[in-house]
Amino acid sequence: MNLSINFLSVAKMAPDDYVGFTFFVGCMAMMAASVFFFFSMNSFDKKWRTSILVSGLITFIAAVHYFYMRDYWAATGDSPTFFRYVDWILTVPLMCVEFYLILKVAGAKKSMMWRLILLSTIMLVTGYFGEAVYTDNAAFWGFVSGVAYFIIVYDIWLGSAKKLAVEAGGAVLSAHKTLCWFVLVGWAIYPLGYMAGTEGWYTQFLGSFNVDVLYNIADAINKIGFGLVVYSLAVNSSEK
């Protein structure tokens, strides 16, 4: 019975609640993006369908988490750190899968995909330790997480993934490059949010801004933007 009551009651939102606003808009944007990716999927060559499906899964998983995070924020006024990290631990490995899928044409091996998945898992688990469990050592855990992040950046910009992208050339190479920029610039917003939300040597250098606003903006850019890069790759290579 509680369930029906929860669905019928809507928490109040103050007009200056920018955090709540970005949770709300984020939820809708992720939902709309999912519908877009799912519905466009079958208009592409078979070899691109899985990539588009994964783009849709990423935004769909996020939409569901945003639905809960929005509610959690409205009800408690706290950061929904737990839901946030559950979302990331599901969606970031899927982004690694996306790198693999678009490089498959150049003979990418599953081992490359698993390496990226493992690194992203280390990045997120250690980040969660610093942000939610061992908060007294946030700077240390943030550093460990950052090392994993930099290895990912290295792998895709200069390592084995880069080599495969060059071999594939054309539309795949340029899509790979764009995705690399997302990881270098778009993903860099997250450590900034982390530093804003935890205590460490960096606290004195950062003004106060809200973690969730940063994370929400970053998620919209990275999840929807990432999917659109894959979408336009599919469009460009299906035309010929």
Ligand X SMILES: *C/C=C(C)/C=C/C=C(C)/C=C/C1=C(C)CCCC1(C)C
Please report, as ranges, the residues that interact with ligand X according to CB under 6 A. Answer: 88, 91-92, 123-124, 127, 142, 145-146, 149, 187, 190-191, 194, 219, 222-223
Please report how close the Cβ of residue 136 comes to ligand X at its closest, in angstroms. Answer: 16
Q: Looking only at Cα atoms, what is the longest distance across the chain? A: 58
Q: Which is nearer to ligand X, 62 or 168 (CB)?
A: 62
Of 103 and 123, the one with the shorter C-beta distance to ligand X is 123
Identify residue 216 by its one-letter amino acid code. N
Give 115 or 223: the residue with its C-beta nearer to ligand X: 223
- Copy the structure tokens of residue 51: 């990539």
Tell me the closest approach of the beta carbon of residue 124 to ligand X, in angstroms: 5
Asked if 235 and 210 touch (Cβ cutoff 8 Å), the reply is no
Minimum separation from the CB atom of position 227 to ligand X (A): 11
Q: How far is the CB of 175 from ligand X (least distance, A)?
A: 17
| SS3 call for 85 | helix
Smallest distance, ligand X to C-beta of residue 239, A: 29
Residue nearest ligand X, CB atom distance: 127
The DSSP output letter for 132 is I
Q: Supply the angle between the helices 160-168 and 138-157 in degrees, to the nearest 10.
A: 30
- Are the C-beta atoms of 49 and 181 separated by less than 8 Å? no
Q: How far is the CB of 51 from ligand X (least distance, A)?
A: 17
Tokens standing for residue 26: 């984020």
Q: Which is nearer to ligand X, 124 or 165 (CB)?
A: 124
Sign of the Cα pseudo-torsion (14, 17, 19, 21, in order): positive
* Contact indicator for 230, 102 with CB cutoff of 8 Å: yes
Closer residue to ligand X in complex, CB, 92/171: 92
The answer to whether 187 and 127 have CB atoms below 8 angstroms apart is no
Which of 72/129 has CB closer to ligand X?
129
